[in-house]
């Protein structure tokens, strides 16, 4: 029994990460996410672990190995580390795994969750190659999602000192996401409180954020000069709001996830006069324009590396167990 207990302890020590005691979500930003974003544009090379060339798991190894002594080298093995996290509960710094290869159900790719539905990862092929920021919600990554794991200790995610609003106010940052460049407050690594985002299509939003997305009161500016002022929910126009069109007309309405429920006031003969209840007015968060929405190929990830490592381990085992040795 004593020997069995020792064996179980040794196995657990292999599968569980060795944690560095870090203080808060600020540490995730400083030690993991900021260095990761500085590597955007780096080349993809199978078997590379940095400092300027990576495969997908090599990118994670470069960022996390200093804080996770027992971090495995390939994505399939990384997917057994830490604990499972539901997709809707992801926090920046969590690892997200995908089955992108020719064999369905096999983990072949790993990414780092950045926040606001965004991933940062080293991609072997497809619309983006090398280290890039993409949307988890795009069709390709959504369809090939496998699991998510939290490999860092809870102390990474625990805010320290003061109220939630005071803590968030102390974390004003600039960060690129799949939909645009954000500047503002963070809470547990996600946009929270007051912020500004310049969206990739030329639109912008300034106002309240909650849970990573525009939520509360704010102003959305389209690139043509039209602007919406009012209530938001999860990145959509939701509640009472007014559009001030660049032609001088205005429209006040009640909105439900971007769709007009009822019009309370319309002024002018321009664009406002042509809008009716039921019209859907999208923010950029509701637009699917990522090249990954139409990509149907295979992202090989680090599967070839895992297969080679597996073969090397088998050959080593054969050599060490040959008769007469």
pLDDT single digits (tens) 216-246: 999 999 999 999 999 999 999 999 999 999 9
Half-sphere exposure of 138 (CA within 13 A, CB side): 18
Residue 24 has pLDDT above 60, yes or no: no
Scan for tokens 């092929």, then name that residue: 125
Res 166: pLDDT: 44
109 catalytic per annotation = yes
pTM for the full model? 0.82
CATH tag for 180-286 (out of 2.30.38.10, 3.40.640.10, 2.20.110.10, 3.40.50.2300):
2.20.110.10
Q: Is 235 exposed, middle or buried (0-12, 13-18, 19+ CB in 10 A)?
A: buried
Distance CA 201, CA 45 (A): 31
Q: Are 135 and 288 in contact (CB under 8 A)?
A: no
- Give the pair of three-digit tokens for residue 313: 């381990």
Active-site entry in 3, 56, 246, 281: 56
Non-local CB neighbours of 69 within 8 Å, separated by 6+ positions: 17, 18
Say yes or no to pLDDT of 11 above 50: no
Instruction: Break the chain into its structural domains and give their ranges.
Output: 2-157, 180-286
Among residues 109, 144, 238, 281, the one annotated as catalytic is 109
**Measured distance CA(234)–CA(214) in Å, rounded:** 6
| C-alpha torsion angle, residues 265, 268, 273, 278 (rounded to 10) | -30
Residue 56 a catalytic site member: yes
* Strand-strand pairing, 236-244 and 227-233: antiparallel
- pLDDT tens digits along 47-72: 999 999 999 999 999 999 999 989 99
For residue 310, give every residue at least 6 positions away whose Cβ sits within 8 Å of its Cβ, in sequence order, or none: none
How many Cβ atoms are within 10 Å of 93's Cβ, its own excluded? 26
Q: Token pair for residue 305?
A: 């590396």
Which among 3, 121, 198, 210 is annotated as catalytic?
121
- Residues near 103 by beta carbon (within 8 Å), at least 6 away in sequence: 303
pLDDT tens-digit series, residues 106-165: 899 999 999 999 999 999 999 999 999 999 999 999 999 999 999 988 766 665 444 444
Q: What angle do CA 52, 57, 61 make, to 5 degrees?
A: 70
Distance CA 214, CA 192 (A): 9
Q: How does the average pLDDT of the chain come out, rounded? A: 85
The third-level CATH classification (topology) of the domain covering 2-157 is endopeptidase fold (from Nostoc punctiforme) (3.90.1720)
- The 10s digit of each residue's pLDDT in 263-283 is 999 999 899 999 999 999 999
Pair 75, 108: CB distance under 8 Å:
yes
pLDDT for the residue numbered 323: 64
Query: How confident is residue 304, by pLDDT bands cut at 50, 70 and 90?
Result: confident
Please tell me if the domain spanning 2-157 has the same topology as the one spanning 180-286.
Answer: no
- Is the pLDDT at 314 greater than 50? The verdict is no
């Amino acid at each position: 029994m004593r020997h069995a207990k020792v064996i179980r302890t040794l196995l657990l020590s292999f599968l569980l990460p060795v944690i560095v005691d870090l203080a808060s979500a600020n540490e995730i930003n400083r030690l993991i996410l900021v260095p990761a974003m500085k590597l955007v544009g780096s080349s993809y090379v199978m078997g590379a672990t940095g400092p300027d060339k990576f495969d997908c798991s090599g990118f994670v190894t470069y960022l996390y190995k200093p804080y996770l002594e027992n971090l495995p080298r390939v994505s399939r093995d990384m997917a057994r580390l830490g604990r499972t996290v539901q997709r809707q509960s992801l926090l920046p710094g969590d690892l997200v795994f995908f089955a992108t290869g020719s064999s369905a159900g096999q983990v072949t790719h790993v990414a780092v969750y950045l926040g606001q539905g965004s991933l940062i990862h080293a991609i072997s092929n497809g619309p983006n190659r090398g280290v890039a920021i993409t949307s988890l919600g795009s069709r390709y990554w959504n369809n090939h999602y496998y699991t998510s794991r939290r490999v860092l200790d809870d102390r990474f995610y625990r805010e320290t000192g003061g109220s939630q609003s005071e803590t968030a106010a102390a974390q004003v940052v600039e960060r690129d996401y799949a939909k645009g460049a954000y500047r503002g407050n963070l809470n547990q690594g996600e946009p929270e409180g007051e912020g500004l985002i310049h969206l990739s299509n030329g639109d912008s939003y300034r106002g309240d954020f909650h849970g990573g997305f525009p939520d509360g009161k704010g102003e959305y500016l389209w690139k043509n000069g039209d602007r919406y002022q009012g209530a938001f929910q999860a990145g959509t126009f939701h509640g009472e709001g007014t559009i001030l069109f660049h032609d001088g007309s205005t429209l006040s309405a009640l909105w439900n996830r971007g769709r007009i429920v009822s019009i309370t006031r319309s002024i002018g003969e321009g664009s406002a006069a042509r809008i009716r209840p039921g019209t859907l007015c999208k923010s950029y968060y509701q637009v699917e324009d990522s090249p990954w929405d139409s990509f149907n190929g295979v992202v090989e990830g680090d599967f070839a590396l895992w297969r080679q490592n597996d073969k090397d381990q088998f050959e080593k085992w054969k050599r060490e167990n040959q008769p007469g040795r």
